[in-house]
């Protein structure tokens, strides 16, 4: 097994970096928090890591739509040698590494074309826009995962997670994109109702997202983005209904007090480390 190194970017209004880094450390990885400018100035080397993480927050104040300015900055920023930073992202993925974006990070991933990237050309195919409720939603939801779509979701079926967003509604560019997403199973995390059925109905679906989508992966399974916050459910005691969860055996093991969100980080760290191979 190899050591796993995760790079968690921050700066420009990102504000969930500490709990995100804590999640990777609890999962057994080495985690470094770095300002995005440190990558642009090449003070550290992206390719020294196997996981790149874009956390939640309010990058650039969401002034031009959530994640749009951040996406453009990463897409068009040139490094000292004249190479685009985005070229490094492409190489990072080509080398078999992984990228995870949560909430604002998910918004940035879709707007720079990393998700769902059906055509493989890194062009934007979907967007995340204002909730149907026209307000910021800050509460817990239940999602159903497709565990075979990406290593991030291995062994997960139903998962409770908090949402904290004003622009989480997935809109697909056209019918062809929708058909490809469905055919390839890229809609890997969906909002469900109390019966466990996928729903576009409020409030179980907090934003009116098409395909009931709470998270997308790319065809390789190496890029994963989701609107809910798994880094905010690292302990069973984060859950508003934790006494019932404990009584009903909703923890990973009888003596385990970890929250369901931690499983996503454990999954990818174990996968990169080669456990179980």
What are the residue numbers of the active site? 103, 229, 231
- The beta-strand segments (E) located in the chain are 5-10, 30-35, 51-54, 98-102, 126-129, 137-145, 158-165, 169-172, 189-191, 213-217, 223-226
**Contact status, residue 188 vs residue 199, Cβ threshold 8 Å:** no
Do 31 and 8 contact (CB within 8 A), yes or no? yes
> Token pair for residue 183?
């055919």
Cα end-to-end span (Å), the chain: 9
How big is the chain by its Cα radius of gyration, in Å?
18
5 and 52 Cβ atoms separated by less than 8 Å: no
CA distances from 76 to 67, 84, 128 (A): 14, 6, 20
Euclidean distance between CA atoms 91 and 53, whole angstroms? 16
Nearest Cα to 125, choosing from 134, 137, 117? 117
Q: Whole-angstrom Cα distance, residue 36 to residue 34?
A: 6
């Amino acid at each position: 097994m190899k050591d796993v190194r995760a790079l968690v970017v921050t700066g420009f209004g990102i504000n969930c970096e500490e709990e995100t880094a804590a999640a990777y450390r609890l999962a057994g990885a080495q985690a470094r928090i770095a300002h995005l400018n440190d990558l642009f100035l090449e003070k550290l080397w992206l390719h020294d890591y196997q996981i790149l993480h874009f956390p939640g927050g309010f990058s650039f104040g969401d002034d031009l739509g959530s994640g749009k300015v951040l996406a453009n900055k990463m897409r068009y920023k040139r490094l000292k040698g004249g190479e685009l930073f985005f070229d490094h992202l492409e190489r990072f993925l080509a080398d078999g590494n992984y990228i995870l974006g949560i909430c604002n990070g998910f918004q940035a991933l879709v707007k720079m074309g990393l998700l769902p990237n059906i055509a493989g050309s890194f062009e934007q195919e979907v967007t995340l826009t204002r909730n149907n409720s026209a307000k910021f939603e800050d509460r817990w939801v239940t999602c159903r995962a497709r565990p075979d779509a990406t290593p991030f979701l291995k062994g997960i079926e139903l998962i409770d997670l908090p949402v904290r967003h004003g622009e989480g509604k997935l809109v697909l560019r056209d019918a062809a994109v929708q058909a490809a997403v469905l055919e390839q199973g890229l809609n890997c995390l969906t909002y469900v109702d109390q019966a466990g059925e996928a729903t576009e109905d409020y409030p179980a679906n907090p934003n009116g997202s098409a395909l009931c989508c709470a998270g997308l992966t790319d065809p390789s399974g190496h890029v994963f983005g989701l609107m809910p916050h798994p880094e905010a459910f690292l302990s069973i005691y984060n859950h508003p209904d934790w006494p019932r969860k404990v009584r009903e055996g909703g923890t990973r093991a009888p003596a385990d007090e970890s929250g369901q969100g931690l499983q996503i980080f454990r999954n990818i760290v174990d996968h990169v480390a080669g456990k179980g191979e």
